[in-house]
Amino acid sequence: MKLRLTALTVGLLLASNTFMTLAWYGHLKFENQPVWKVIAVSWGIALFEYCFQVPANRLGYQVLSAAQLKVIQEVITLSVFVVFAWLYLKEAPKLNTLIGFGFIGLGAFFIFK
């Protein structure tokens, strides 16, 4: 049961962060659009983020601590962002970025120990 809820939580957080990253950074390719338009579209996308985020935290909190949930969230956020930046924004991750994210991953390891 714990493994199943944890896996479901991770899946929901992955979906949530995909929408969040799109809402926060997707508009960067639409420089010619007025800010009010990209804000409106971003808010619409963020609604879907919350539709996954809230259930993820409610389910996850049954088997994980709040600190563990937050760490999972941050690791997923960074992972989704690296892929998004690479594929959508055409910004390949640099070595210093990967090292920095590695240190964050090390911190996540200690939260679970």
Q: Confidence band (pLDDT; 50, 70, 90) for 73? A: very high
Residue 47: the pLDDT is 94
Please tell me the predicted confidence (pLDDT) of residue 33: 94
What does the angle CA 29 – CA 32 – CA 38 come to, to the nearest 5 degrees? 70
- The residue segments making up the domain with residue 13 are 2-111
Q: Check whether 97 has a pLDDT greater than 90.
A: no
C-alpha span between 31 and 33 (Å, rounded): 6
Distance, CA of 99 to CA of 113 (rounded, Å): 21
User: Distance between CA atoms of 21 and 104, rounded to whole angstroms?
Assistant: 19
pLDDT band of residue 113 (cuts 50, 70, 90) is: confident
Using the predicted structure, report yes or no on whether residue 101 has a pLDDT greater than 90.
Answer: no
Give the model's pLDDT for residue 17: 96
State pLDDT tens for residues 41-61.
999 999 999 999 999 999 999
Query: Based on the structure, what is the number of domains in the chain?
Result: 1
Residue range 15-35: average pLDDT?
Answer: 94
Residue 71: other Cβ atoms inside 10 A: 20
Report for 59-63, 100-104, 107-111: range of highest mean pLDDT: 59-63
